[in-house]
Amino acid sequence: MTSVAEKPPRQDVPPEPVRPTLRQRLSRWDVRFSPYLYIAPFFVVFGLTGLFPLLYTGYVSLFDWEIGDDDPKFIGLENFVTLLGDAQFWNAVVNTISIFVLSSGPQLVIAILLAALLSLRLRFPASWRVGILLPYSASLVALGIIFANLFGPRYGLVNAMLEAVGLDRVEWQANRFASHLAIATMVNWRWTGYNALIVLAAMQALPRDVYEAAVVDGAGAVRRFFSITLPMLKPTLIFVVVTSTIGGLQIFTEPKLFDAMPGSNNGGSQHQFQTLTLYLYQSAFEGFDLGYASAIAWLLFLLIVLIALVNFLITRRVAATTGLKR
């Protein structure tokens, strides 16, 4: 009798993991870390030129710090408390917001209309686009001097035109609202063309098949503009509104040159068009109070963040309820 040896059951042995080569590891690290290296220069520069001054300004605002003082006294939030009770500060806040509203609102509407016109089939389109950008390329100081003369109370061209049509002369620099209107005109003249080109670029990137479908459905040009163009421009409009808010609330050169004494930081004899940045500059380099000026800078920063956020929410809500959602 012969015995047959039983064959041991087969066991699956897991394969040994293949160790990646150096080239494969470098390729994996390249995919994972390269995007961070590409954007790192921006954040490094921003940290040095933007974030550090912001934080250091907050630090200085906690001191009674005058120019040349080597041993400033720590006073905590006293600068902010004093600032909230400062009538000149609130006067500058009202002036800044008033000029911002008078400039940003019309500027955005005119920019959209200009972009709509430029998107039509015009002859020499490049010439028209360069033409509306010319005010932006001009020197801001030159524009300030020109507009200060145009709105001059005695020999200004604007008052001459008002008298030609039978209206009274306007004291553009003495009257508070008139001065805001004149400065807002200066701002609109410079920035409307720039914003129009941004809107135009976004308008030309919109898908044409949506418009073709609307034409087949019988939608007219006005209906297509309000129901297709404006809602689909929502991201661009939000960008333009936010950047206009940031720039509009930091207005400095225009009111500084509009003064009867160009270069003054008073914003008129009664501070009727003194903005927050002018008051900040005046506190720092005429009053030599760096701590107080830093407190103004921080409240201005918070005001910009607050208004930019409100504008962002309003623009998104309006664009979303106008027609299409994106």
| Count: domains in the chain | 1
3 burial level (CB within 10 Å; 0-12, 13-18, 19+): exposed
Taking alpha carbons only, the member of 202, 189, 205, 210 closest to residue 142 is 189
315 has a pLDDT exceeding 80: no
321 has a pLDDT exceeding 70: no
For residue range 258-303, what is the model confidence (pLDDT) as tens digits?
A: 887 877 888 888 889 999 999 999 999 999 999 999 999 999 999 9
Q: Give the global pTM.
A: 0.80
Please name the helix (run of DSSP H) or strand (run of DSSP E) that holds residue 64, with its range, or none.
strand 63-64
Query: Measuring CA to CA, how many Å separate 169 from each of 43, 153, 176?
Result: 52, 7, 15
- Mean pLDDT across the stretch 7-21? 69
Report whether 166 contacts 211 (CB < 8 A): no
For residue range 214-267, what is the model confidence (pLDDT) as tens digits?
A: 888 888 888 888 888 888 888 888 888 888 888 888 889 888 888 878 778 888
HSE at residue 180, side-chain half, CA atoms within 13 A, is 21
Whole-number pLDDT of residue 85 = 92
Residue 107, in any domain of the structure: yes
Residue 304, in any domain of the structure: yes
Residue 31, in any domain of the structure: no
Q: What percentage of the chain has pLDDT greater than the value 90?
A: 30
Give residues with Cβ within 8 angstroms of 197, minimum separation 6: 115, 129, 132, 133
Please name the helix (run of DSSP H) or strand (run of DSSP E) that holds residue 234, with its range, or none.
helix 234-248
Calpha distance 49→43 (Å, rounded):
10
- Residue 279 identity: Y
Residue 214, in any domain of the structure: yes
Whole-number pLDDT of residue 292 = 93
CATH number for the domain harbouring residue 156? 1.10.3720.10
Residue 37, in any domain of the structure: no
Residue 189, in any domain of the structure: yes
- Beta bridge partner(s), residue 289: 66
Confidence of residue 10 (pLDDT cuts 50, 70, 90): low
Domain with 246 in it: 80-321
For residue range 171-230, what is the model confidence (pLDDT) as tens digits?
A: 888 889 999 999 999 999 989 999 999 999 999 888 888 888 888 888 888 888 888 888
324 has a pLDDT exceeding 60: no
Taking alpha carbons only, the member of 142, 130, 119, 100 closest to residue 243 is 100
- Residue 268 identity: G
